[in-house]
Amino acid sequence: MSQNLNAAIAVIGIDIGKNSSPLLAVDMIVEVNRAIAERGLSRVGILGTQTVMETRFYGGVTSAEIVPPGGQDLLDVHQAYVTMAASGVATEAQRSVFNVASHRLFKGQRRSGDPAWGD
């Protein structure tokens, strides 16, 4: 029995090794920017590592304003995210950190009628 498997790798900074990889390389920044633009979003909250949040996804999203959490939320999200990524499992405590930060972003950045918030 023969199977034809398609594989892809998601990368950031795709210029290095793009053409030499045996896997299909997908530039996450380009694809996220495209998806945001297609949805007509003007403001998007972001959770991830400290670098991703502080650079607003490496400055690569030009189709909308990228809004990271601030202060202690940014540090808490970073720690929870890195720990989750290393273990491959999200704990209830980590989910709570993400939920709290998301709710604060939503409340603090909400503009009525903005499609980024589903109005």
Kindly report the three-state secondary structure assignment for every residue of 50-68.
HHHHHCCCCCCCCCCEEEC
Question: What pLDDT, in 10s, does the model give residues 75-111?
Answer: 999 999 999 999 999 999 999 999 999 999 988 754 4
Confidence tier at 10 by pLDDT (50, 70, 90): low
8-112 is classed CATH 3.40.50.1860: yes
Question: What pLDDT, in 10s, does the model give residues 22-55?
Answer: 777 778 899 999 999 999 999 999 999 999 999 9
Bridge partners for 3 per DSSP: none
For the chain, the domains span 8-112
pLDDT at residue 68 in the model: 94
